[in-house]
Amino acid sequence: MRPAEATFVFKEYKSDFSRGKVDFCYEIKSGGRTAIEFIETLKFKKPFEGSNNVPLELLAKALDNLFLILGISYWKTYCPHKIEILPFTLSKKEAEFWDMVYTKGLGEFFYKNNINFRGIIKFPYSAGAKNYPIHFKAGKRALLLFGGGKDSLVAAEMLKKKKKDFVLFRVGESAIQKKTASLAGKSSIIFERALDPKLIVLNKKKGVYNGHIPASAIYAFAGVFAGILHGYGKVIASNEKSANYGNVEYKGVMVNHQWSKSQEFEALLGAYLREFLTPDIHYHSILRSFTELEIVKKFVNYPFYFKYFSSCNRNFSITKKAERKWCGECPKCAFVFVALAAYLSKEEVRKIFGKNLFADKNLISLYKELLGLEKFKPFECVGTPMETKKAFELIWKKGEYNQAPVIRYLQGIALQSNHAFTRSKK
């Protein structure tokens, strides 16, 4: 299928509020005929609390936005150059918003698939369309987007310390999320997302594009819809300052794996919600002023989570079930290990991970990337090279790992170039 000749169609969505279910329908056309149809289903486990007081028009507009962001998983299979939206019409400014979300949110995807992204995403609009925001009676309670990792756990503890009234919101329910939510002591609103099985099959086929999507943008719009549905006035994320740091430049643009967690996206979404959805719901991150390393420093004050939490994304894969909480091989595991080792004892970190990652020589090249010594920052939700360097400095000063292969190798580089971290006497 040739992208330039294909059309991606946002066909329709069918909502059944009595059953807590919405089907989002998409199709790809080629040569004027339907080539592939997709149906994604979103289910709500919890009965609606405030939907009777929410204008139906506002609920519909919130679903419109969910419809558009969920479509990104299906559009990327062939990257059709033409887009059609059948159920509603966007204004020019709304279309520009979605052009940017798709283009910047798929930056890593374009890079890895060697796609020239310029000009291929053009959401349709009507010059005369005027879409206005709708007011609703939002309550004081907040939704906290919750993944069960260190960031959302620190956010939950911060909100509890401030005596804020909030509930946890999550898409899906892994064992890790369920246990950590229970330890956090807060009730949850849970959505279930069922991708069309055809997408999983297509992703394995030659000639079909696959790769990273801006998942945090999906969670944000799902949270906004849930907030409106239940009458909450705030949707709170746990996105840190480090998310603003990009990975690599591609065709004159900085690609950022974490773009949908960045300050740029947060500001963009906030303005969009106020202008086109409702000014009565506020989306923001409570951790925006903190780096990843600073968040870990806060997290170590809550040891009751250590046994149950995980930040390894292999636990949240759609197609594969993780065999353990920490794979011990990915950039996320490598970074979280070094960050925790900066503030916890060697034995405490070993208990969390089940092994000492600094003993694994195979991780040396990965740590060089995290330190900014080789290639570029890995495509993962990890801290900046400066944060990694600071963590290694703290680890070296403590001395517990100084004979480990990874530490000995990296310290050798530091002594030669003074680039990674400094040596100091105890």
Contacts for 356 with CB less than 8 Å, ≥ 6 apart: 346, 349, 350, 401, 404
Contacts for 367 with CB less than 8 Å, ≥ 6 apart: 334, 338, 388, 406, 410
What b/e string do you get for 300-314 counting C-beta neighbours within 10 Å, with b at 16 or more?
bebeebeebbbbbbb
* pLDDT at residue 420, rounded to an integer: 47
For 74-83, 89-98, 231-240, 412-421, which range has the lowest pLDDT when averaged over its residues?
412-421
Query: Measured between alpha carbons, how far is residue 244 from residues 57, 109, 241, 256, 322 in Å?
Result: 35, 18, 6, 8, 29
Tens of pLDDT, residues 215-244:
999 999 999 999 999 999 999 999 999 999
- Strands (DSSP E) contained in 335-378 are none
Q: Confidence band (pLDDT; 50, 70, 90) for 318?
A: low
What b/e string do you get for 221-256 counting C-beta neighbours within 10 Å, with b at 16 or more?
bbbbbbbbbbbbbbbbbbbbbbbbbbbeebeeeebb
The mean per-residue pLDDT over the stretch 154-179 comes to 95
Pairwise CA distance, residues 219 & 44, whole Å: 14
Biggest CA–CA distance in the chain, Å, is 73
Are 7 and 84 in contact by the 8 Å Cβ rule? The answer is yes
Q: Confidence band (pLDDT; 50, 70, 90) for 54?
A: confident
Pairwise CA distance, residues 208 & 80, whole Å: 12
Pairwise CA distance, residues 30 & 5, whole Å: 7
> In the predicted model, is pLDDT for residue 411 greater than 90?
no
CA angle 218, 299, 301 (to 5 degrees): 155
Q: Which of 149, 150, 381 is nearest to 258 (CA)?
A: 381
The mean per-residue pLDDT over the stretch 265-271 comes to 98
Give me the helices (H) in 162-232, please: 175-184, 197-202, 215-230
* pLDDT at residue 48, rounded to an integer: 59
Q: Which of 113, 24, 121 is nearest to 82 (CA)?
A: 121
Pairwise CA distance, residues 161 & 178, whole Å: 21
Q: Confidence band (pLDDT; 50, 70, 90) for 44?
A: confident
- Pull the structure tokens for residue 410: 């990296």
